Amino acid sequence: MTETTSKPLVGKVALVTGGTSGIGKVTMEALCENGASVAFTGRRKQLGEEIEESLQDQGYKVIYLQSDLREISEVDQLIQDTVATLGSLDVAFNNAGVFDSDALFHEYDDSSWNDLIAANLSSVFYCMRAEIAYMLGNDGGVIVNNASIVGHRGSRRATPGYVASKHGVIGLTRQAALQYANAGIQVNSVSPGPTLTETQQPLFEQGPEAVANHLSSLNPQAAFVTPEEIANVVLYLASGAPDMLTGQDIAIDGGQLFKL
């Protein structure tokens, strides 16, 4: 652990949704390492409790809170529990979401659409609404939403629900940034490209050539984004970004978004 003077988030409380794996877990750990007290959610209770115990053993102030973010009452309770346990809410990383793929528009059924929108868009709105309501009475705060580069365009692989939900997350980011620009609440989003999380591990284990072949038609660098790279951007937005940086979506994709 680094010295306190080098930790920009000492005295701050952060909430990370989807914090038991991938981008959320790495970001949650980075926030802890930089001085924040952190509450995090995740679908797998046993795993969440194991991560909580491990980080507490390392001296970090962290709590795992199980919550179904598709349910308004549970989201509201999540914010209340975070504040009651850790004393505040200064930073929120709305990261939780799911991915579905390989469904054509005319074959995408109602259940898949409703489930995806509930998990990826409605949940973000519920979280933002509760976070903002608290921050308005707490001298402001920082909200970062996890979108995607397909929030800017279509995708041959992702479904209509996934693409629509990520466009929606960016829209919610911009709308909230506009409405609370003078209330001390900064709202931004990050849009990762293909990221090396657990779901990509089998491909990664095949070696650099397999990764390059998979990504070369998309990513100019023919490489995965790492969760650490995304966590570093979230950390910057949470601790070092200027006040005037709000309403922005930051693509972290090795130039993929702008490749013809």
Instruction: Mark residue 254 as left, alpha or beta (left: phi above 0; alpha: psi -120 to 50; beta: remaining).
Output: left
Determine the 3-state secondary structure of 16 from DSSP: strand
DSSP assignment, residue 123?
Answer: H
User: For the chain, how many residues are written?
Assistant: 260
Tokens of 129: 């609404």
Contact 42, 49 (CB under 8 A): no
Beta-carbon contacts of 218 under 8 Å, excluding residues fewer than 6 positions away, are 193, 194, 256, 259
Q: Per the residue annotation, which of 60, 162, 180, 236 is the catalytic one?
A: 162
- Say whether 162 is catalytic: yes
- Supply the residues annotated as catalytic: 162
